[in-house]
Amino acid sequence: MATVEIPVDMELVYERPESLTEAHTHYCPGCTHGTIHRLIAEVLDELGVREKTIGVAPVGCSVLAYYYFNVDMAEAAHGRAPAMATGIKRVSPDKVVFTYQGDGDLAAIGTAEIIQAANRGELITTIFVNNAIYGMTGGQMAPTTLPGQVTTSSPTGRDIETAGWPMRMAELIGILPGAVYVTRQAVLDVPGIRRTKKAIKLAFQAQLAGLGFSMVEVISTCNTNWHMGPVEALEWAKEHMVAYYPLGDTKVADGVQALKGGK
């Protein structure tokens, strides 16, 4: 990408964070992964930790995240990002380590790894993107798919009698003593995006302060596999997903509360 000269009489108000590469993402138009990537990158820049950050990408739509983050990154096996991040962090305690995981990755195949890493209080940060569906494989039922939601593998809608209930991961992880900051946010509108960024920043700050495991669950959309337009998808998520997945903190340990500025 060519460098754009800024005319002298104009002020630069918005630019690509250094923690993002110039690569064009492969995400579908309307997808919120790009927004979440950017928020993480802005936070890494603001905290000045880009050069000591190691990220772990999942299997799922964000499998190629290592092309988009301008930090050292590894690509994990499906669900194993928290184990891989543990391996990295334990031999690199001075680095900032994060995982970026979708709902199939974190809440189905990787349930053991995320719970155990959180419970050990691993000094890593997990960004958990919940869009209630398997995106990359073409729209199958996820552990987070809502009751009655139609997917390619629940063609008549998720039947809780046979498929069980959607997993509320932020609540599940929040009760573990090793997790010091767990929150659920949504990138469905501008105020939500701003709150999500704040949460991501706090999660990384908790890691930097050596307090314990931190996780930000982000309610996201998949307009392609939901068969909706991007705007309609945002509205659907607000109406249906946020109703099942309440936004807000499920765990704020005392040390994190202090970082937040008391209360």
Partner 1 sequence: MAKELLEGNAAIAEAAIRAGVEAFYGYPITPQTEVLEHLSRRLPEEGRVFLQAESEVASINMVYGAACAGARVMSSSSSPGISLMQEGISYIACSEVPAVLINIMRGGPGLGNVQPSQGDYFQAVKTAGHGDFHMIVLAPANVQEAIDYVGLAFDLAEKYRTIAMVAADGAIGQMMEPAELPPMRPVRPPEERPSWALTGAKGRESNFITSLFLGAENLEKVNLRLQAKLKEIAANEVRWKEYSTEDADLLLVAFGTVGRICQTVVREARAKGINVGLLRPVTLWPFPSARLAELAQQVRGMLVVEMNAGQMLEDVQLAVEGRCPVKFYGRLGGIVPLPDEILPELDKLAAEVAGGEEG
Residue type, 175: I
Does position 108 bind partner 1 by CB under 8 A? no
Residues in 114-173 at the binding interface with partner 1, rule: CB under 8 A: 116
Does position 237 bind partner 1 by CB under 8 A? no
| Nearest of 81, 173, 187 to residue 124 by alpha carbon | 81
Q: For partner 1, which is the closer residue by CB, 86 or 154? A: 86
Q: For partner 1, which is the closer residue by CB, 97 or 234? A: 97
Residues in 11-40 at the binding interface with partner 1, rule: CB under 8 A: 21
Q: Which range touches partner 1 (CB under 8 A), out of 60-68, 138-146, 170-178, 192-200?
A: 60-68
Q: Given candidates 33, 37, 38, 50, which one binds partner 1 under the rule CB under 8 A? A: 50
Q: For partner 1, which is the closer residue by CB, 51 or 159? A: 51
CB-count burial class (<10 Å; 0-12, 13-18, 19+) for 60: buried
Please enumerate, as own/partner, the contacts of 162-171 that have beta carbons within 8 Å and a separation of 24 or more. Answer: 166/132, 166/244, 166/245, 167/107, 167/143, 168/244, 168/245, 169/103, 169/106, 169/107, 169/114, 169/128, 169/130, 169/144, 169/215, 169/217, 170/128, 170/215, 170/217, 170/245, 170/250, 171/250
Contact of 104 with 142, CB cutoff 8 Å: yes
- DSSP three-state, residue 160: helix
Cβ 3 to partner 1, closest distance in Å?
18
Residue 176 in tokens: 């573990």
At residue 248, φ and ψ (nearest 5 deg) are: 130, 175
Q: For partner 1, which is the closer residue by CB, 89 or 184? A: 89
Q: Given candidates 31, 39, 43, 56, which one binds partner 1 under the rule CB under 8 A? A: 56
Cβ 166 to partner 1, closest distance in Å?
24
Q: Which range touches partner 1 (CB under 8 A), out of 32-40, 47-55, 148-156, 251-259?
A: 47-55
The C-alpha atoms of residue 250 and residue 254 are separated, in whole angstroms, by 13
Residues in 71-90 at the binding interface with partner 1, rule: CB under 8 A: 71-77, 80, 83-88, 90
Can you tell me which residue has the tokens 């990154």?
Answer: 73
Does position 66 bind partner 1 by CB under 8 A? yes
At residue 14, φ and ψ (nearest 5 deg) are: -155, 125
The C-alpha atoms of residue 11 and residue 32 are separated, in whole angstroms, by 28
Cα 131 → chain centroid: 10
Residue 255 in tokens: 């040390």
Q: Given candidates 91, 155, 161, 191, which one binds partner 1 under the rule CB under 8 A? A: 91
Cβ 106 to partner 1, closest distance in Å?
14
Q: Which range touches partner 1 (CB under 8 A), out of 111-119, 199-207, 215-223, 252-260?
A: 111-119
Does position 53 bind partner 1 by CB under 8 A? yes
Cβ 88 to partner 1, closest distance in Å?
4
Which residues are at the interface with partner 1 (CB under 8 A)? 21, 50-54, 56-57, 63-64, 66-67, 69-77, 80, 83-88, 90-92, 95, 112-113, 116
